Structure 1
Amino acid sequence: MLVGMGLGIVGGHQLASLKIIGDIFLRLIQMSVVFLIFGAVIEAIGSLDHKALSRLGGKTALWFFVTTVIAAAIGLGMGLLFRPGSGLQLGQLHAKSAVQTASGDWATTILNFFPDNIFGALAKGDVIQVIVFALLFGLVLNHANQHQQFDGVLNLVKQLNQLTVNLVMLVMKAAPIGIGALMIGVTADNGLRVILPLIKFLAIYGVSTGLFLAALFLGISWYAHVPLFGLIRGFSRIMLVALTTTSSAVSLPIEMTDAHERLGVSERINKLVLPLGMALNSNGLAMYLALVCVMLTQLYGVGTSVTGLMQIVALSVLACLGTVVVPGGGLVALTIIVPTLGLPTASIALLAGIDWFSGMFRTVANVVGDTTTAIAIASDEDELDHSVYETIVHHAVNK
């Protein structure tokens, strides 16, 4: 990022043509996004135990949905309140299409959630329609596979998902070069004036994440009747791993271990909620996407109606389903939601340079959101061991 900005400032328009390397990098990510989401959602739903799906699946989905909407609403509100994109106008490119997308009527918006041809939705890259189909297909597969007669289909989906994730991870190895090339183009066109909103954006996103975590800890402490201090201490290692790895997938083993040993969640709830949350629940990403969309509308001078703001929240929530859980997943999600809102895909370059830093906040919010959901469901099912909190508090007091 720094080298790219430096070259863009020093070399100016002479080096602007190197931006094509960054554009190729973005396309390599985009080419597998829809297929990856399609398979990940089917696998997550289809792999659930059929009996658990009816009761625990409903509770899990409800908690995931509520916390994700809250996170997206916080991102939207903080963006409107502190205006990270104000003071920098990058032009009116595609502004008309953005306004049209944001101001569509509710009937059309809702109807467009449902595909009339799944192959057409896949070909067009209509992610929302693909997600709806994948959810329904996953439910049907789960129901039909009660006696493992469709294990071959489920295993095929799992294997395709693993190969697609490997492909994305291979492309992400070129991220430093791709991001550097993108930043050359951005700074060559806009100079240093593009950096200030990004620093402001990170600060606002960090504060938003802090507010969200505080709300989760206070809410779960009250709901599950566990001491707040013991709760935070139990989460300390999970948050540290998430912060340093910026990967929900890498954090999952520690998350599952500490959820059981330090936060008292039973193994049954642990194995159901946390892997599913890794694939389908991304509170931090929803907050990030909502905040990014508000910032980009401000950067490009695009006005949005109340309906448009509600659409931003809805898209931020839906775009999290099945999103990549490896580092760089935020960049992948941006390639989904930015074109959907009619904003220029070139604007993704603005966020690509700070994706690792924003990924720190995203991952912490994601894993804490998943684990607090597991605690809440374990409490509902009388499968939460409260004694572990007493042990944590006792050890802390002795120290």
Structure 2
Amino acid sequence: MRKRKPLSMSIQIFVAMILGIIAGMLFGKSIAPIKLLGDIFIRLIQMSIVLLVMGQVIEAVGSLNIKRSGKIIGQSVVIFLISSLAAAVFGIVMAVLFTPGAGASFSGAAKSQYTAGKMPGISQIILDFFPNNVFDAMAKGSIVQTIVFSLVFGLALSLYVHQEKATHLLDTLREINSIVIRMVGLVMKIAPIGVFALLAATTGQMGLTVIKPMIKYLGVYGLATLVFLGLWLIVIGLVTRLPLGALIRRISRMSMMALATTSSAITLPVALKDTKTKLGVKDEIAQIVLSLGMSLNSNGSAMHMAITLVTISQIYNVQYSWGTLAYVAVLATLASLANAVVPGAALVSLTIVVPQMGLPIESIALFAGIDWFVGMLRTILNVDSDVFTSLIVGHWNDALDFPKEAALVEDGV
């Protein structure tokens, strides 16, 4: 008798969400003590966040061979940062316009240090990006300062590795990162229990109002992703003068793969092949840009974190000024650099940014059950933006030869 495959983590979490909502409706406020299990789950994720963020960013930057392909890397990183910041800003604008979190009016509103009227000046905000003591920043869980230190350390590591021809530290770091990711994976095995407990307690306290924001949130997030991809295509058309109809057809296979698998890593081989053969980007450009993009370019992740932070603030009636929203955009952009390939990446990402804005950590459970749908939107934007970046870099370096339709048919591509 053939063994049944275990349910995927996304399905388990989705089922846990449904059961948690049902349990909350059935037992009401009497189920509140079960929240302890959810709080333990969140803390287990949080305990490794600083190590996860530092390790991923340092490894990504430290692995770059800046001397060999400095120009290509430099151009790619600039586009990555601009496009990820633009994605975060666009997500914020969409959330402000359509207010997916409005109307929930949950009690126990967050006491954010960034509520309107309490935001520090722009010079202080910029200064606060830079730690004066990295250990103090780590102890306080200041993710922005931790990432800035990791970027500088990673750059120094890259120069050291390629000047001294010594890779032992980088190899050790890779092993540590693998262990940390495995540790997060172990914690994520109990995610269904944690999500069930948090949603049961929340639903028992709030009632079915917990569901309404999620439906609207997914609609707004989906629309934001679709429109942003359209804006990306317009930029590609203006820069490269490529026919957009043909471009859309030729990225369709990798886009469908991204949607189906919700994994940039699994989609990478298909994206690499189609970028070279269907789009005509030269081998070196495609390999460098798409490989870099796996770690350093996360338009989808930046938009996801930005739009989710604004949604949570609306759910808990936390009012943010435009200056605060600008900080949210920068935070989401920097945090997207640490977008590790771990099970339940959406949950892990939110655990990084939600506490930074003083929002209730338990609010993450509201988004856990729709992780699979969120993953689809994040992944297609992540993958397609990597490919679009390779087209621009290829065009700038005269390494783009967009094949004609007849050539594709003849070669069977």
Same-fold status (TM-score > 0.5): yes
Q: Paired residue for 1:22?
A: 38
Question: Using the alignment, how far apart are the partners of 1:329 and 1:220 within structure 2?
Answer: 29
1:86 to 102, 122, 127: 102
* TM-superposition CA deviations, 1:199-254 (whole Å, max 9, x none): 00000000000001111122213322322122112211211121122222222222
Pick from 126, 133, 139 the counterpart of residue 117 of structure 1. Answer: 133
SS at structure 2 position matched to 1:114: coil
Please identify, of 199-208 and 322-331, the stretch whose mean Cα deviation from structure 2 is larger.
322-331
- Name the residue aligned to 1:168: 184
Whole-angstrom distance in 2 between the partners of 1:101 and 1:319: 25
1:61 is displaced (CA, Å) by 1.2
1:349 maps to 2:365: yes
Find the partner of 1:314 among 310, 323, 330.
330
| Correspondence for 1:257 | 273
Moved more, 250-259 or 364-373: 250-259
Shift, 1:142, TM fit: 1.4
CA offsets, 1:115-151, max 9 Å, x none?
1122222222211111111111111111122245320
Cα distance in 2 for partners of 1:133, 1:241 equals: 35
Matching residue of 1:272: 288
Match of 1:144 among 134, 156, 160: 160
Give the Cα–Cα distance (whole angstroms) in 2 for the partners of residues 28 and 53 of structure 1: 40
Equivalent in the alignment of 1:333: 349
Question: Aligned-residue CA RMSD in angstroms?
Answer: 2.1
Unmatched 5+ stretches in structure 1: none
User: Please, which moves more after superposition, 42-51 or 365-374?
Assistant: 42-51
- Runs of 4+ in structure 1 off by over 4 angstroms are 392-396
Instruction: Report how far residue 263 of structure 1 moved.
Output: 2.2
Match of 2:255 in 1: 239
The separation in 1 between residues aligned to 2:195 and 2:376, in whole angstroms, is: 17
1:134-179, Cα deviation, whole Å (9 max, x unpaired): 1111111111222453200111111111222222223223322322
Task: Quote the offset at 1:98 in angstroms.
Answer: 3.9
Aligned partners of 2:278 and 2:403 also within 8 Å = no
> Could you report, residue by residue, the CA deviation over 1:41-97 in whole angstroms, capped at 9, with x for unpaired residues?
111111112324531222111101111122112111111111111111113533353
Residue 37 in 1 paired to residue 53 in 2? yes
Distance 1:145 1:196, change over 3 A: same
Give the 5 Å matches for 1:1-399.
Answer: 1-52=17-68, 54-95=70-111, 97-99=113-115, 103-147=119-163, 149-387=165-403, 391-392=407-408
Cα distance, 1:381–1:342 mapped onto 2, change above 3 Å:
same
Q: For 2:49 and 2:404, how far apart are their aligned partners in 1?
A: 41
Supply the distance in 2 between the matched residues of 1:283 and 1:152 (Cα, whole angstroms): 32
CA contact under 8 A between 2:112 and 2:359: conserved in structure 1?
Answer: no
Secondary structure of the equivalent of 1:97? coil
Amino acid at match of 1:119: F
Change (3 A) 1:290 1:256: same
Q: How many residues align?
A: 396
Provide, for residues 281-334 of structure 1, a one-character-per-residue CA deviation record: whole Å limited to 9, x for no partner: 211111122211221221121221121111111111111112223342221111
Q: Which amino acid counterpart does residue 169 of structure 1 have in structure 2?
A: G
Q: Which amino acid aligns with 1:139?
A: L
Distance 1:393 1:13, change over 3 A: farther
AA in 2 matched with 1:95 = K
Classify 1:187/1:143 alpha carbon distance in 2 versus 1 (closer, same or farther; 3 Å).
same
Cα displacement (A) at 1:390 = 5.4
Q: Deviations over 1:361-399 (max 9, x none)?
A: 111111111111112111211222311665458899xxx
1:196 CA drift (Å):
0.9
- CA-to-partner distance for each residue in 1:347-373, whole Å, 9 max, x for gaps? 112222222211111111111111111
Amino acid at match of 1:342: G
Whether contact under 8 Å (2:116, 2:320) holds in the other structure is no
Distance verdict in 2 for CA 1:224–1:24, change over 3 Å? same
Q: Relative to structure 1, is the Cα distance of residues 54 and 77 closer, same or farther in structure 2, using a 3 angstrom cutoff?
A: same
2:323 corresponds to which letter in structure 1? T
What secondary structure, in the 3-state scheme, does the structure 2 residue paired with 1:50 have? coil
Q: Provide the C-alpha distance between the structure 2 equivalents of 1:223 and 1:332, rounded to a whole number of angstroms.
A: 36
8 A contact 1:91–1:300 mirrored in 2: yes
- Are the equivalent residues in 2 in contact too, given 1:183–1:353 (CA < 8 A)? no
Do the aligned residues in 2 keep the contact of 1:221 with 1:231 (CA within 8 Å)?
no
Report the AA paired with residue 359 of structure 1: G
Amino acid aligned to 1:18: I
**Matches of 1:340 and 1:178, distance apart in 2:** 21
CA 1:289–1:393: 2 relative to 1, 3 Å: farther
- SS of 2:211 mapped into structure 1: helix
Aligned 8 A contact 1:230 1:393 in 2: no
Q: 1:226 to 1:121 in 2, by over 3 A?
A: same
Equivalent pairs: percent with the same residue? Answer: 42
Partners of 2:390 and 2:117 in 1: how far apart?
37
- Gaps (5+ residues) in structure 2? 1-16
Asked whether the equivalents of residues 246 and 327 of structure 1 are also in contact (C-alpha less than 8 Å), the reply is no
- Mapped contact 2:281–2:402 kept (Cα < 8 A): no
